[in-house]
Amino acid sequence: MRPPADPDHHDKQPARATAPESPTLHQALAGTGGLDTLLRELTDRAVLAVAGAEACSVTVRRDGRLLTVAGTGGLPSGLDQRQDENGDGPCVRAADSDAEQHAPDLSEEGRWPTYAAYALSKGVRSVLAVPLAVDGETDAALNLYATAEGAFHGSRDAARAFAANASDAVNAALRIERERASAGDVRTALLSRSVIDQAIGILMAQERCTAQTALDTLRRVSQDANIKLRDLCGDLVARTTAESTNGASGRRASQRR
């Protein structure tokens, strides 16, 4: 984290943007290389966008545990994990209750005494945790940290605006990833269907049977051998192709003699 700001910090420094414009955030973040990259850039941008913030993390509750899915480079280790261990803290409560949590001075914080003591030992004096409305992840929060007392008194509106825009960007990225995964599933299904059809054709030629009989035979062998039908058919097609190639090569060699 950066060194504590002096009392006249805000007078000496140019004003930071209260929150990035929604289209800019969407274009810059949702167009990055995957959700992990997006979240890392999101935390970096939050520190720049919210006056007083010196470090940021994004936490999500999955399978009953609070996980830090992204954080800025200056984030002291264990700040979010300690809340998960204690079962409470500003980030936990913001994610679980969907309500903003603000601790302007952890040295006087009575809601989470164990966590406050730990955070103070890491140099953190102020915390602001804002819920993130993320599709499929009802428990998520954007967490901002500062070494100065009352660092977020004048920037809570900016933090809320950033969190709202960030939620939109994360949801857009999640939709893109789901669409990519769905497209991959479709391609896999099409490839599987193709290899199964080829195997049925091979078996029909070998056994002089109908397509349904060939499919029933393949399914029975798949179940008996505990092998996926797709894999069984792939092996059959590969072996038949190899035998055909070897046979053709042998015939050509004989003709050249």
pLDDT band at 10 (very low <50, low <70, confident <90, very high): very low
The domains of the chain are located at: 9-179, 183-248
Pick the CATH number of 183-248 from 3.20.20.150, 1.10.10.10, 1.10.1380.10, 3.40.50.20: 1.10.10.10
Give the pLDDT confidence of 26-45 residue by residue, as tens digits.
554 445 456 677 778 889 99
Query: Which residues in 139-169 are b (16+ Cβ under 10 Å) and which e?
Result: bbbbbbbbbbeebbeebbebbbbbbbbbbbb
Whether the domain at 9-179 and the domain at 183-248 fall into the same CATH topology? no
Check pLDDT > 90 for residue 108.
yes
**Which residues pair with residue 143 across a beta bridge?**
57, 129
In the chain, % of residues over pLDDT 70: 72
CATH topology of domain 9-179: Beta-Lactamase (3.30.450)
Predicted TM-score of the model (pTM): 0.59
Distance CA 232, CA 237 (A): 9
Contacts of residue 127, Cβ cutoff 8 Å, sequence gap at least 6? 90, 91, 101, 102, 103, 106, 119, 143, 144, 145, 146
Per-residue pLDDT tens digits for 114-124: 999 999 999 99
Rounded to a whole number of angstroms, the distance between the first and last alpha carbons of the chain is: 79
